[in-house]
Amino acid sequence: MKSPICLRKSAILALTILAATAIANARAETREDWITLGTRIHGGFGPFIPMGIRIGLDAKEKLKTDPRGLTVLFYTGEKSPCPCIADGIMLATGASPGQGTLQIAAEKAPAGLLAVAIIRNRKTGEGLKYTVADKWMPKVGEWIKTLDPAGRYEAVMKAEDLFQVSPAAKQN
């Protein structure tokens, strides 16, 4: 008979595997799906989560890759409260810290930027650099105060010039 400690470790391992599988298999098709998934994984659904979702979806489309086919290196800006945008990117791309395909850089994003994400196709090495200017912070604050999660999602998805995208140097 297994000891209680072994049983607890087995249960924790099983739950970890189930959670990882749920994230990997999670596909959001509607606004409500994204809100439910973002809230469950991140613990809330502020405007930074749909920002990341929007960036991740854009990268998947432009880099033409299969699920889990992307790597992400994320830099948080000085004015950003936390790398919440990275969680949204994770949801949209399937990249994850546990797989080593999503990394939060120790260095901060350059001054004036809320976030920088370098997203690459794992097979081809092709990459895109996404930047979000910190000029968005007042608007984010307004969205947090005045909109519910559905309104935040819609506002972010409709925001013009939310991010800039440029080619990243190809890696081999």
CB 84 within 8 A of CB 52: yes
Domain extent at residue 66: 29-168
- Amino acid 171 reads Q
pTM attached to this predicted model:
0.81
- pLDDT at residue 160, as a whole number: 97
In a domain, 45, yes or no: yes
Confidence of residue 31 (pLDDT cuts 50, 70, 90): very high
- pLDDT at residue 27, as a whole number: 56
In a domain, 10, yes or no: no
Q: How many domains does the chain have?
A: 1
In a domain, 50, yes or no: yes
DSSP state of 125: -
Task: Please measure the distance between the N-terminal and C-terminal CA atoms of the chain and give it in whole angstroms.
Answer: 50
In a domain, 9, yes or no: no
CA dist., res. 38 & res. 75, Å (int): 20
CA dist., res. 152 & res. 74, Å (int): 22
In a domain, 24, yes or no: no
pLDDT mean over 134-148: 96
Per-residue model confidence as pLDDT tens digits over 77-96: 988 777 899 999 999 999 99
In a domain, 93, yes or no: yes
User: What are the residues whose beta carbons fall under 8 Å from the beta carbon of 158, sequence distance 6 or more?
Assistant: none
In a domain, 91, yes or no: yes
Reply yes or no on whether the pLDDT at 120 is more than 70.
yes
- pLDDT at residue 29, as a whole number: 81
